[in-house]
Amino acid sequence: MHINALDSYRPGRSRVHRLDPRVKLPLTLLFILSVALMPDRSWVAFGLSQGLLLLVTFLSGVGAGLVQRRSAVALPFTLAALTVIFATPGHPLWTLPGGLLTVTDAGLWRFLSIVIRSYLSVQAAVLLAATTPFPDLLWAARALRVPRTLVAVSGFLYRYLFVLADEAQRLLRAREARSAAPGGRGGGSVVWRARVTGAMAGSLFIRSYERSERIYAAMLARGYDGEVRLLKYQPLGEEASLGEG
Amino acid sequence: MLKTEVLPASPQMHIPDGFLSLSVAVVCWIVAIAGIGLALWRSRKVLGERQVPLMGVLAAFIFAAQMLNFTVAGGTSGHFLGGALAAILLGPWAATLTLTTVVAIQALLFQDGGLVVMGANITNMAVIAPLVAYGVYRGVRLLAGERRWGSLVGGFLAAWISVVLASTACAVELGFSGTSPIGIALPAMAGVHALIGIGEGLITLGALALVTAVRPDLVEAEQVKARIGGLRWAWVGLGLALVLTLLSPLASPHPDGLERVAENLGFIEAAQSAPYEVIPDYVFPGISNEALATITAGVAGTLIVFAVAVGIAALYRRRETARP
Amino acid sequence: MMEPCVEVRDVRFTYPDGREALRGINLHLAPGEKVALVGPNGAGKSTLILLLAGLLKGQGSIRIFGEELTEKNVRRLRARLGVVFQDPDDQLFSPTVFDDVAFGPLYAGLPEAEVRERVAWALDQVGLAGFEKRLSHHLSLGEKKRAAIATVLAMQPEVLVLDEPAAGLDPRARRRLIAVLRDLPQAMLLATHDLWLVEELLPRTVLLNGGTVVADGPTAAILTNKRLLETHGL
């Protein structure tokens, strides 16, 4: 089932998997923070950090390929930083035709540093998500004093994400089935297509709202009184499995 | 085209780690936490017991709705952010909480947006977007009175403005961090999102139209509840529209535009001098110091006006509910 | 005669849009008794269940263990009359199975150790021992249905009301579910379309149609009365 594509957790029994999530989450944050503090061109620090990440990847057993693939998500945003190549004063390397923009060496190093820092950070986040089941992450968040309401709402988000993603897929498929043009180049203007998409969103909203009313009824029937109550938690660690879907 | 690899949300607005300076990230966290705190307090009053399951499922809805793409041209597709729709259907505070969890899950599970810079993403997409959208929506409804077009036009404008302003904030954050010169980032971001915002506006409009037709109680109920706040939100909305107009010259990279804006906002500068000291004054290569100072004034002024307006709205509402 | 645990007298309910769902229902349930609630769609089965759960308020009298159901005692009575709704995805709303099954006892104010005990016990009752750490959205439909029952069992109610517990299950899952239900000592009111389920499990049947009770008696008698069944859309 495609549903598992949305689940970042890759079950395992490694030391990384079993590490207390209340330690893993702050550690990851600290790592990203320290990377952010590294000045431009601290190649040694960058290299050591990457080494550390590779070590953790190896220990966790989730596979370097997986980590690299998921980390590529951050790359498109690097375009936003591209302009820094021209804007940083330094030794001019090359002037673009037209004479307006000059690439400087400092600019290049700065751009590279930004990209590297970003890539290091995203790998850390990927490792965290891959080795920690989501309910454990919620628990770690709670330990970091995230308000209960937010934690509870996040729990619902996670629980119903798959249910609603399924419904969204069904709506998309229905639209596909009704679009005459092969190869995805639908007819009608962009405006029309946007409104159809809007109608799909609207119907998904209504279904979600009505579901939330039924859930609320089920909660009331089991004694819900509006207060969010959370038990002292036991981590899922390596025992949570994907199971047969 | 069915998506087998799920890529939630629009790639342009979720800032990854490494792109913001720590000082900017910290400031954004402060704004985010303040926004969340306010939202927790207000949403509890309005929704009461129901808030957790409702917000939770609707957070999942926003997430799923962001999977509903539509082809714009060739290979590109428009994506849906949902800030305005959430605010109109849930009210601004519940929307903030809902969108916060969406941003957090996107960052934690899909690395769409960084962890340390999450404060900025929350500020842009979960605080600025829904609050702005709600204000604009109420403003338009006020102008339209009972007429049907009020809800639809309001929805469209609210969505469009929220997307543009959120992306503007994003550009400002990048600019202050030294990642992207603000003279380029701002027009680029705002320009691109002015286009994307049209898609957002149309989807929001379509969704609102459907919900109004099938379950009008879901839209109206929100209106009735919020009537206690009444005119205040409308004023906030109109005020924001005004501010946006004043700020539009900022989008142009010409120094002229910056000076004009600085003049227009001169009265704000005079009234509130203190906050500028808080903003770090660092040398930004490529743009002169003077211009930076004026941008600082303009942007900080906007945010302050906005914050004050929201604060007044909250105070008024508290006074209203306190009356017997 | 033992005091009925559930007594419904002349209950009427009309929805806000004007639809008259129940037009005077009379029903009683003795402790330990297992009763089927059958009828075509729109007969009012689900509405009656919502009223019993205290989620809707109609006219007439609903007494649970001799107490008239009111806003004041509804929370307390919900611990004694548990409702399992039709869609397990509505009933299993927490990330893990443990969280869901623990919900009821937790909100009943039980101490932590006892909550954990109840969870283990309830899961064992439905044949899902050891499922605590499973993620709800990964369960199969049969497992979800049983987990949903466990969420209610954990509160140790004396009456169980179930809405279509076997809907959508494959034969093997269905058999497992029937085995679970058969072994439960609680009084049971089970709304269903599945007449074979009724035959296998429930000695008494109440036939509902158009918001009124059309027949109420031994299952064998009602199910063999073909004319009766046909007239009422079964």
The pTM (predicted TM-score) of the whole model is 0.80
Which residue has better confidence, B199 or B101?
A: B101
User: Would you state the pLDDT for residue C202?
Assistant: 93
Q: Give residue-wise pLDDT tens across range A137-178.
A: 999 999 899 998 999 999 999 999 888 888 888 888 887 777
Close Cβ partners of B158 (under 8 Å, ≥ 6 residues apart): B84, B87, B88, B132, B133, B134, B136, B137, B140, B204
Distances (CA, A) of B308 to B96, B261, B304, C194, C201: 18, 20, 6, 62, 66
One domain for residues A80 and A59:
yes
Please check whether residues A146 and A47 belong to one and the same domain: no
Q: How far apart are CA A107 and CA A91, in angstroms?
A: 9
Q: What is the pLDDT of residue C137?
A: 86
> Under an 8 Å CB criterion, which residues of A touch C?
3, 133-135, 138, 155-156, 158-160, 162-163, 211, 214-215, 217-225, 229, 231-232, 236, 239-245
C partners (3+ CB pairs within 8 A) are: A
Are A201 and A93 found together in one domain? Answer: no
The count of structural domains within chain B is 1
Please tell me whether residues A80 and A7 are part of one structural domain.
Answer: yes
B116-132: per-residue pLDDT in tens? 999 999 999 999 999 99
Chain A: nearest CA to C215, how far in angstroms? 29
State the Cα–Cα distance between residues A170 and A159, nearest whole angstrom: 18
Range of the domain at A149: 138-179+186-245
Predicted local confidence at residue A174, as pLDDT: 82
Predicted local distance difference test score (pLDDT) of residue B236: 63
Between chain A and chain B, the number of residue pairs with CB atoms below 8 A apart is 289
Lowest mean pLDDT across A227-241, B163-177, C163-177: A227-241
For chain B, the average pLDDT equals: 72
Which structural domain range is residue B76 located in? 2-322
Q: What is the mean pLDDT of residues B271-276?
A: 38
Confidence of residue B144 (pLDDT cuts 50, 70, 90): confident
CA dihedral (A236, A238, A243, B4) in degrees, to 10, reads 100
Q: Please answer whether residues A176 and A183 qualify as being in contact, where contact means their C-beta atoms are separated by less than 8 angstroms.
A: no
To the nearest whole angstrom, how far is the Cα of C187 from the nearest Cα of chain A? Answer: 17
Alpha helices in chain B (DSSP H): 22-47, 51-65, 83-90, 92-110, 118-121, 129-144, 149-176, 182-214, 216-226, 231-247, 255-264, 266-271, 275-278, 289-322
Task: From chain A, pick out residues whose CB is under 8 angstroms from the CB of C115.
Answer: 231
Residues of A in contact with C91 (CB under 8 A): 218
Instruction: Say if residue A50 is in the same domain as residue A123.
Output: yes
* Residue C212 β-bridge partners: C209
- For residue A169, what pLDDT is reported? 82
Strands C204-209 and C34-38: parallel
Place of tokens 């998309």: A172
Residues A58 and A155 in one domain: no
CATH number reported for the structural domain that contains residue B235 in this entry: 1.10.1760.20
Q: Is A164's CB within 8 Å of B64's CB?
A: yes
pLDDT at C223: 86
**Whether residue A156 is found in the same domain as residue A123:** no
* pLDDT of A127 strictly over 90: yes
Q: Which helix (H) or strand (E) holds C185?
A: none
CB atoms within 10 A of CB B47: 19
- Residue A162 confidence (pLDDT): 84
* In the predicted structure, residue B192 carries a pLDDT above the cut 90: no
pLDDT of amino acid B231: 59
Pairwise CB contact (< 8 Å): A80 & B80: no
Supply A242's token pair: 């994907």
Residues A114 and A15 in one domain: yes
Pick C133's closest partner by Cβ from A159, A162, A236. Answer: A236
Beta-bridge partners for C205: C36, C217
Clarify whether residues A100 and A147 are in a common domain.
no
For residue B87, is pLDDT > 80? yes
- Count: domains in chain A: 2
* A-contacting residues in B 216-245 (Cβ below 8 Å): 218
Under-70 pLDDT residues of chain C: 1-2
Q: In the prediction, which pLDDT does A231 show? A: 74
User: Considering A132, A149, A167, which residue would you say is the last residue of a domain?
Assistant: A132
Same domain? For A14 and A125 the reply is yes
Chains that touch A (3 or more CB pairs under 8 A): B, C
Residue C7, classed as helix, strand or coil, is: strand
Q: Which two tokens stand for residue B298?
A: 């303009």
For residues A107 and A148, membership in a common domain is answered with no
CA distances (Å), A147 to each of A138, A196, B42, C138, in order? 11, 38, 14, 27
pLDDT of residue B273: 39
Does ipTM exceed 0.90? no
pLDDT tier at B304, thresholds 50, 70, 90: low
**For A216, nearest residue in chain B (alpha carbons):** B53
Contact list in B for residue A160 (CB cut-off 8 A) is 56-57, 60
C68 forms beta bridges with: C63
B19, B117 Cβ separation under 8 angstroms: yes
List CB contacts (< 8 A) between A103 and chain B: none
Shortest Cα–Cα distance, A161 to chain C (Å)? 9
**Chain CA centroid to CA A89, Å:** 35
Q: Closest to A157 (Cβ–Cβ): which among B36, B59, B202? A: B59
SS (H, E, C) B199-236: HHHHHHHHHHHHHHHHCHHHHHHHHHHHCCCCHHHHHH
Phi, psi of C92 (to 5 degrees): -100, 90
Does A171 share its domain with A66? no
Phi, psi (5° rounding) for residue C96? Answer: -115, 160
